[in-house]
Amino acid sequence: MRYFLFSLFLIVQVCSIKAQTTARCGAAEALEWVYKNDPSARTRVEQLLNAANQADQSAFATRYANTSAVTYTIPVVFHIVHLGGSENIPDAQILNAMQILNADFAKLNADTTNILAIFKPIAANTRIQFALATKDPQGNCSNGITRHYDAVTNWGNPDLSNYKFQWPANKYLNIYVVKALAPGVAGYSFYPGTVPLSMDGIAILHNYVGAIGTSSPFGSRSLTHEVGHWLNLAHIWGNNNNPGQVCGDDGVSDTPITKGNTWCNLNAASCTPGIIENVQNYMEYSFCSNMFTQGQAARMQTALNSVNGNRNNVWTNANLIATGIINPSVNCAPQADYVISQSVTCVNAPVSFLDASYNATIAAWQWSSSAASQNSTLQNGQLTFINSGPASVKLKVSNAFGSDSVVKNKIYVMANGSNAGVPNIVESFETNTFPNNRWFGSFPQFGSGFASTNLAAATGSTSVYINNFNDNPNVSINLFTPAFMITNTLNLNVQFKTAFAQQFTGNADRLRVYYTFDCGQTWNLIFNKSGAVLANGVLPQFNTAFVPQANQWTTHSIPLNFMPNLETYFRFEYTTDNVNGPGNNFYIDDINVNNTVIGLNENTLQTAFLEVMPNPASTNLNVSLKGLQSGELTWRLIDVSGRVLTEIKTQSVNSTQLEVSRYQKGIYFLEVSNSQTRQVKKVIIE
């Protein structure tokens, strides 16, 4: 996925809602960028705003004064974009947000009693209401809430690619609930007709939606504010994000000239002597908002009768039927979806799954996999895998009105504890297909992961690479080795070759290498390079996809002095730079992991036997080395990261006792060594 700023015109109100601070909107900056990239945009935008101002003045005296005027109902769809965290807010929080939104626009909010007496006569019931759609664009049953596990929950600047889940904006108000926006920003929206329909909507942080769940009453009016922008309201001090600086006008007849207020100063009168400003307006930053004016209501109604942004279509009777507001669909079948707790596990190790299904109340869940020992019928299932290799997991959800299922190939099961390790890994990717049951990559949700290629190779004709020029993954992706059995070794060497180019000198894509010998519970870092260091002299290449020449490969060699006598996996983790932009293509080839067996007294080494009792242990370990002539020995207790916790030296004694009660429960390693031998044994403290 390549993320470029949309090169047409963007007029966006980006509103940061932070108590007791000056909020920031990106409107002015966005407009200047628009004008720079589209010379005709300034005239077009000014014409739109001037036309709206003129229409508002005529509408104020007529449309709003008509007590029998129509109520405008707008179909709404919430797109919850998440990565399985707290941003995946529950339906109840969405329903709460809809209640607040409708109350605010109907002047039914309880805090209208706090409106200053001078503004109560013009506080408006806007006659605009909002309803969750009950039909999707294809006419299928819906509850107006969609859920998408996707990295675009981390938004920055407005970008066309963020709106990938868009429903037609001439039929629905699209609201994207996300995890992150630009720093200090709570949400933003577009004026009608200023962006293509494919980008027309509202983006808002999950913790500014409603007043419950991850949100609070403090942030609960943020959505009201953003919908005001979507219906052509500016901040009441004008079309900028600089409150408190210069007196300005929003083009609405009954909102006093104001500088804008960033705190609840109800006596503010900084622009016109004796004229109190409308600090309690929803389009303020005062944090005590509780009203729209009648003039603002008329301006929003004018927007809903305008062709700009097709706002004149969303509330029509035909569209209310098409979106299920009239004659709603109520008997919906659920849509299946889930989030996985981990993508790598081991044989006989349970994996948990989080149900993320939506669209209806679910009566039954069924989790299954051909590689698992049994199914699960819990909402958040747990499966234990008995077969190693790639595994797919199926979730089926159902209720009285139907069922749906989803299958994801997101798990790789390591063959830990089955003696599947090999004494040496030598892989040039020439003869084996990739991925396979020995070599595998993680399963990125977005973009491509490691793939076999014959574009280039350090040796032979094939390597594996990440297409980071045309389809960068935007998430860290991993390459896992087969199980490696480390036996009777003092030295271990991990060697591999890479080729990488930046696109710009600031790109800081990173490669890390880890190992684990506890089934992925702990990963130990042994290699970490990024940016120009990883490129190792290869110049940045902006215009073309990087294909390395023979002299552009770098050989890396990592010596390890300690590894246990256990099956071990190595993981190569590649992470793109999402701050400065991704680099170019990345290649890896000729991965070799080799034991270096000691040469002294090899026969003695083979006959020596390390005995540990009891194992598991809770207080003391009694350890002895059988089959070795007495001499000085060093006994070490080592944790899974390789840190020595206890060291004891004995002279002419082949046994000792280690006190372990002070250590946490878990897996540890006992190493005994002298100038002739080294033995390692796994121990468990319980």
The reported pLDDT for the residue numbered 595 is 59
Which of 226, 284, 427, 573 is flagged as catalytic?
Answer: 226
Specify which of 160-164, 359-363, 449-453, 667-671 reaches the highest per-range mean pLDDT. Answer: 359-363
Choose the weakest-confidence range: 20-29, 283-292, 584-593: 20-29
Q: pTM for this structure?
A: 0.66
Alpha-carbon distance of 547 to 530, in angstroms, equals 18
Alpha-carbon distance of 253 to 124, in angstroms, equals 14
Q: Of 56, 76, 462, 399, whose CA–CA distance to 234 is shortest?
A: 56
Task: Please determine, for residue 456, whether its predicted confidence score (pLDDT) is greater than 50.
Answer: yes
pLDDT, tens digit (0-9, with 9 covering 90-100), for 374-401: 999 999 999 999 887 778 899 999 999 9
**Burial of residue 209 (number of CB atoms within 10 Å: 0-12, 13-18, 19+):** buried
Alpha-carbon distance of 417 to 683, in angstroms, equals 14
CA dihedral for 449, 455, 456, 461, sign (positive or negative): positive
- Residue 640's region, left for phi above 0, alpha for psi from -120 to 50, else beta, is alpha
The reported pLDDT for the residue numbered 152 is 86
The reported pLDDT for the residue numbered 56 is 58
Domains of the chain: 12-235+296-322 (3.40.390.10), 338-414 (2.60.40.10), 424-597 (2.60.120.200), 602-685 (2.60.40.3080)
614-635 average pLDDT score: 80
Q: How many residues does the chain have?
A: 686
The kind and range of the H/E element at 560 are strand 554-560
Task: Please say whether the beta carbons of 126 and 71 come within 8 A.
Answer: no
CA 385 to chain centre: 27
Active site residue 226: yes
563-579 average pLDDT score: 79
The overall average pLDDT reported for the chain is 82
pLDDT, tens digit (0-9, with 9 covering 90-100), for 335-381: 998 888 777 788 888 889 988 888 888 999 999 999 999 999 999 99
Task: Please say whether the beta carbons of 510 and 535 come within 8 A.
Answer: no
**Burial of residue 515 (number of CB atoms within 10 Å: 0-12, 13-18, 19+):** buried
pLDDT, tens digit (0-9, with 9 covering 90-100), for 202-255: 999 999 999 999 998 888 999 999 999 999 998 898 877 677 678 988 889 899
User: DSSP letter at 559?
Assistant: E
Which string of DSSP letters, residue by residue, matches 308-334?
GGGHHHHTSHHHHHHTTSSS----PPP
- Which residues sit opposite 625 in a β-bridge? 610
What residue has token string 């890994």?
Answer: 425
Task: Please say whether the beta carbons of 379 and 338 come within 8 A.
Answer: no
Alpha-carbon distance of 48 to 464, in angstroms, equals 53
The reported pLDDT for the residue numbered 157 is 67
Task: Please determine, for residue 603, whether its predicted confidence score (pLDDT) is greater than 50.
Answer: no
pLDDT, tens digit (0-9, with 9 covering 90-100), for 53-69: 666 555 554 555 554 56
CA dihedral for 151, 157, 161, 164, sign (positive or negative): positive
The reported pLDDT for the residue numbered 16 is 41
Largest CA distance in the chain: 106
What residue has token string 């920031």?
Answer: 24
The reported pLDDT for the residue numbered 395 is 96
Q: How confident is the model at residue 608 (pLDDT cuts 50, 70, 90)?
A: low
Task: Please determine, for residue 599, whether its predicted confidence score (pLDDT) is greater than 60.
Answer: no
Choose the weakest-confidence range: 266-280, 623-637, 655-669: 623-637
Task: Please say whether the beta carbons of 204 and 226 come within 8 A.
Answer: yes
pLDDT, tens digit (0-9, with 9 covering 90-100), for 519-544: 777 888 999 999 999 999 999 998 89
